[in-house]
Amino acid sequence: MSAVDLPADSPYGLQHLPYGVFSTSGEAPRVGVRVGDAVLDLAPVAAADGLPVSGALAQPTLNAFLASGREQWSDVRDWLVDLLAQDASAELVGAHLLPLADVTLHLPFEVADYVDFYASEHHATNVGRIFRPDGNALTPNWKHLPIGYHGRAGTVVVSGTDVVRPTGQRKTPAEATPTFGPSIRLDIEAEVGFVVGTPTALGERVGVDAFDEHVFGVVLLNDWSARDIQAWEYVPLGPFLGKSFATSVSAWVTPVAALAAARSPLAPQDPQPLEYLRGSGSDSLFGLELAIEVELNGQVVSRPPYRTMYWSPAQMLAHLTVNGASLRTGDLFASGTVSGTERDERGSFLELTWNGAEPVELADCSTRGFLEDGDTVVLRATAPAVGGGRLALGEVRGTIRPAR
């Protein structure tokens, strides 16, 4: 007996319990937890049980809860599992459980700084071959450090937000001068994002062993990319307008604690990285057994396997802070495009279609090099759950609207 009635194989069962922010008609956004196909309105339930954290859960973003720290995250998770597992809680829980279909989901946290890494060797190699066919696919620094750069935090949007095709400058090598107009090489990047809860002071480093102290959870992330704008602008200071028009994240943040069974060994790194990227034991450098799906207009076109990533999320965090850069609650760092070894494991259309030269064929007999107006892309991912079965990260959905 338990307070909620869920199928045993639900990807949103008691082993998962991801957090989001929702609202109902006429009421303010507040923190909810997904249970099956429903949202538990957390603040009133926590208040009824006398939890001091109920104030943080009544906020319109997760940030106050994120800032409360690992012990609090753990305590609330334990309390929730107990609550939902007990028949005695059925009345309280039932009074605050809302069907997903009746709520609006919002961006779950206020993004402080957004950093995007480039941690897949297969992706970086593919991009290097496409853009620099005459040189080495990987730059000399690639295996020594997880390359990253800052993106635009203010244009991180929640799953379901339409993406307006961006306009800008582009120039092909064959053209003498740039032209202006809507991007004609609009692309996705299937990524995983990591959400920072516990901040640090300026000058403090976060070692690879301290990942769990600082990172609260994981989101799926689509780093929409206008390849034509990006190719013209990015030398020498990196991507800017080719990325800054929109980055979509899932509405649900899966706690790191729910992914304990998804940690997988990291493939050996050669050359061995510098000491600050090594960690003290075999557990500190981990991959994640996340099976990602890229769906275009209802058809799965790729299945990027996250376990093939070269750099561990713990190494990304250690690198990000090794110069003393401080963390803030709400910082988001993403993995970069996840691509496996096979063609149907690539996490961008740039790679899937080899820069448009080998279009993807769809079930309706149309083909795609890059995205067309009206196209809908959905990213999904599942992972092994603690105790068996699989959980599903929140999906990331976006539809392309014509340029204004």
Show which residues are catalytic.
Answer: 123
Q: Tell me the closest approach of the beta carbon of residue 88 to its own copies, in angstroms.
A: 44
The reply to whether 319 sits near its own copies by the rule CB under 8 A is yes
For residue 281, what is the DSSP state? Answer: S
The reply to whether 134 sits near its own copies by the rule CB under 8 A is no
Q: What is the dihedral of CA 116, 118, 123, 128, to 10 degrees?
A: 110
Separation CA 181–CA 185 (nearest Å): 11
Nearer to its own copies, 108 or 239 (CB): 239
Among 48, 70, 129, 149, binds its own copies (CB under 8 A): 149
Helix or strand (DSSP H, E) at 31? strand 30-35
- The site map against its own copies for 101-120 (x = CB under 8 A) is -----------xx-x--x--
Q: Tell me the closest approach of the beta carbon of residue 122 to its own copies, in angstroms.
A: 16
Among 7, 133, 271, 281, binds its own copies (CB under 8 A): 271
Q: What is the total residue count of the chain? A: 404
Q: Tell me which residues in 218-247 interact with its own copies (CB under 8 A).
A: 226, 229, 232-242, 244-246
The reply to whether 77 sits near its own copies by the rule CB under 8 A is no
The reply to whether 398 sits near its own copies by the rule CB under 8 A is no
Residue-wise burial string across 10-20, b where 16 or more C-beta atoms lie within 10 A, e elsewhere: bbbbbbbbbbb
Q: Which of 374, 387, 359 is nearest to 257 (CA)?
A: 387
Give the count of residues interacting with its own copies (CB under 8 A): 61
**Encoding tokens for residue 261?**
């069974």
The reply to whether 67 sits near its own copies by the rule CB under 8 A is no
Nearer to its own copies, 276 or 354 (CB): 276
Q: What angle do CA 335, 337, 343 make, to 5 degrees?
A: 140
Q: Tell me which residues in 328-347 interact with its own copies (CB under 8 A).
A: 328, 331
The reply to whether 188 sits near its own copies by the rule CB under 8 A is no
Strand pairing of 38-41 and 286-288?
Answer: unpaired
Strand partners, 191: 221
Helix (H, G, I), strand (E, B) or coil at 157: strand
If phi > 0 it is left, if psi is from -120 to 50 it is alpha, else beta; for residue 86 that is: beta
Q: Tell me the closest approach of the beta carbon of residue 212 to its own copies, in angstroms.
A: 21
The residues near 133 (Cβ < 8 Å, ≥ 6 apart) are: none
Among 171, 263, 278, 343, binds its own copies (CB under 8 A): 171
Among 1, 202, 363, 365, binds its own copies (CB under 8 A): 202
Q: Residue numbers of the site for its own copies (CB under 8 A)? A: 112-113, 115, 118, 139-141, 144-145, 147-155, 157, 164, 166-169, 171, 177-178, 180, 202-203, 226, 229, 232-242, 244-246, 271, 274-276, 319-320, 322-328, 331, 404
